[in-house]
């Protein structure tokens, strides 16, 4: 595959073998190993330069969540692939970046082989996000679609009469945050099989067929509870 031209935006500015933090230098090494030819800068290059670039990588180090969400690079999202890396472990931030039109998102603690695989996927025109972020966004989109329909397919009754136990509601909350079965088991100090049993029970009580539908149900449930508290 022909080398891809990449631009790397970092608060550390010009990079050499002697400066920049270790995560940044490691990421650059992976870019070069994947066949990318990166250039570096603190500032977004002019439109003429961007027209010659395949991908722009944004270093999340030293940047606040608000700065990342409102990054000026999103003005060029239709013209270039935008990938964020060295990101904090924050699902909400990843979902927001996905909604803004980014192509990929890498966490600080991602393994090297995962990053390399993700870079190659982005080069090939695919998106690279964690499954939890994709499921969360799909759940929100489904919820927004359902809220435009009247009546709400009986969801009001489902929420009030679901009869979930305290443990089941905790698990619903974790699923809504994108947690997988093993993560839920570790958080609650129970076995994965017990988690599966709880989830099957939750599906039955909420009339949900899968985790995405459960996310939608959870979002609506929380919205209804917030309205009751507000009133």
Specify whether the CB–CB gap between 74 and 37 falls below 8 A.
no
Give the model's pLDDT for residue 151: 44
The string of pLDDT tens digits covering residues 119-162 is 999 988 899 999 888 888 887 777 666 555 444 444 444 444 46
Sheet with 104-107, side-by-side order of all strands: 36-41, 4-9, 55-59, 81-87, 104-107
Asked whether 164 and 170 are in contact (CB, 8 A), the reply is no
Give the model confidence (pLDDT) of 173-199 as tens digits: 888 777 888 989 999 999 999 999 999
- pLDDT tens track for 47-90: 888 888 889 999 998 889 999 999 999 988 888 999 999 999 88
Domains, the chain, in order of start with CATH, read 4-129 (3.40.50.2300), 134-230 (1.10.10.10)
User: Considering the chain, what is the average pLDDT of its residues?
Assistant: 80
Provide the 8-state DSSP code for 42: S
pLDDT band at 8 (very low <50, low <70, confident <90, very high): very high
Residue 226: its H or E element: helix 211-230
pTM over 0.85: no
CB 176 within 8 A of CB 184: no
Contact assessment for residue 39 and residue 7, using Cβ atoms and an 8 Å cutoff? yes
Q: 209 Cβ partners below 8 Å, 6+ apart?
A: 203
Q: With both helix axes pointing from N to C terminus, report the angle between 192-206 and 211-230 in degrees, rounded to the nearest 10.
A: 70
* Interatomic CA distance for residues 153 and 147, integer angstroms: 10
Distance between CA atoms of residues 12 and 19, nearest Å: 8
């Amino acid at each position: 595959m022909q080398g891809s031209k990449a631009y790397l935006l970092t608060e550390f500015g010009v990079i050499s073998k002697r400066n920049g933090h270790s995560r940044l230098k490691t990421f650059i090494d992976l870019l070069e190993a994947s066949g990318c030819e990166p250039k570096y800068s603190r500032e977004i290059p002019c439109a003429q330069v961007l027209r010659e670039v395949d991908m722009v990588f944004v270093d999340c180090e030293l940047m606040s969540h608000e700065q990342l969400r409102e990054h000026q690079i999103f003005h060029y999202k239709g013209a270039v692939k935008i990938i964020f890396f060295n990101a904090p472990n924050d699902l909400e931030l990843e979902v927001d970046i996905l909604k803004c039109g980014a192509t990929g998102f890498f966490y600080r603690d991602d393994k090297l082989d995962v990053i390399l695989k993700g870079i190659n996927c982005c080069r090939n025109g695919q998106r690279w996000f964690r499954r939890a972020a994709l499921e969360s966004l799909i759940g929100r989109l489904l919820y927004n679609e359902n809220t435009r329909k009247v009546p709400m397919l009986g969801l009001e009754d489902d929420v009030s009469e679901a009869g979930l136990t305290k443990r089941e509601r905790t698990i619903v909350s974790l699923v809504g945050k994108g947690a997988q079965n093993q993560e839920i088991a570790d958080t609650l100090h129970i076995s994965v099989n017990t988690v599966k049993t709880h989830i099957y029970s939750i599906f039955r009580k909420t009339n949900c067929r899968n985790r995405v539908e459960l996310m939608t149900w959870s979002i609506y449930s929380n919205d209804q509870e917030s309205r009751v508290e507000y009133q």
